[in-house]
Amino acid sequence: MNTYQLNTKRLKLAPLTSEEISFVHRLLSNPKVDFYNTLGIPKNIEETKVILNEMVSENEKEATQKFTFCIKHNEQNIGLIALNLGNKKYEIGEVWYKLLPEFWGQGFATEALNEVIHFGFNSLKLHRIEAGCASENIGSVKVLEKAGMIREGHKRQHLPLKSGWADCYEYGVLREDYKKSKF
C-alpha cells in the first residue's frame, strides 16, 4: 500500500486518492496537458473515474508496483507524478508527470521529479529510473535533464499523438549517477 508522502521545500507529494476526481478530470481534460500525451482527453467524468480508480487501486495494493502522487503546492493540487516499477529482478522504475499549465516553468515538475528519483533510489532501492517524452516537448526535455536524467535514446515515430506520429526521447539515470552527483 502506498502510504508514502514525500515533501520538498515547496511541494507535498501525497498518494492519489479518489477524492481528487474533479482535479484529475480538469488536468486530463486540459488540451495543453494532453498535447504530448498518448492517453487522450477523457470523454466525460465517468471515463476519468475509471482512470482514477485504476491509479488509486494500484496505490492501495499491499505490494504496489505503481506509486501515483498528487503534487500539491500550498495545499492546492497542481499535478500528478508517478513511479511505476518494472520486473523486480531489474530494479527499474519509470516516471511520468503532468502539471496544470499555469504551474509550468516554475520549477515544480523538476522539484517533484527530483523527490521521486530520491524516493526510488533511497526508499525503493532501485538500480535505474527511466522516462520518455516526445522529442518536441521541450519543457519535459528540460525537466528530465535538470533532474539529472541522461538522454539515452531516440525512437522514431514512437508516440501516437493527435498531431500524428511523434519521435520519443528515452532518458535514464542510475543509482550510481545519483549518488555521485546528488542532483
The Cβ of residue 176 has, within 10 Å, a number of other Cβ atoms equal to 11
What is the spatial distance between Cα 68 and Cα 165, in angstroms, rounded to a whole number? Answer: 27
The structure's pTM equals 0.94
Per-10-residue mean pLDDT, the chain, length 183: 89 96 97 93 95 93 91 97 95 98 98 97 96 97 97 96 94 93 64
Nearest Cα to 123, choosing from 145, 93, 148, 98? 93
User: What pLDDT shows up at residue 182?
Assistant: 61
Beta-strand relationship, 76-85 and 92-99: antiparallel
Domains, the chain, ordered by start: 6-129 (3.40.630.30)
Residue at grid coordinates 529510473 = 129
Task: Decide if 48 contacts 42 (C-beta within 8 A).
Answer: yes
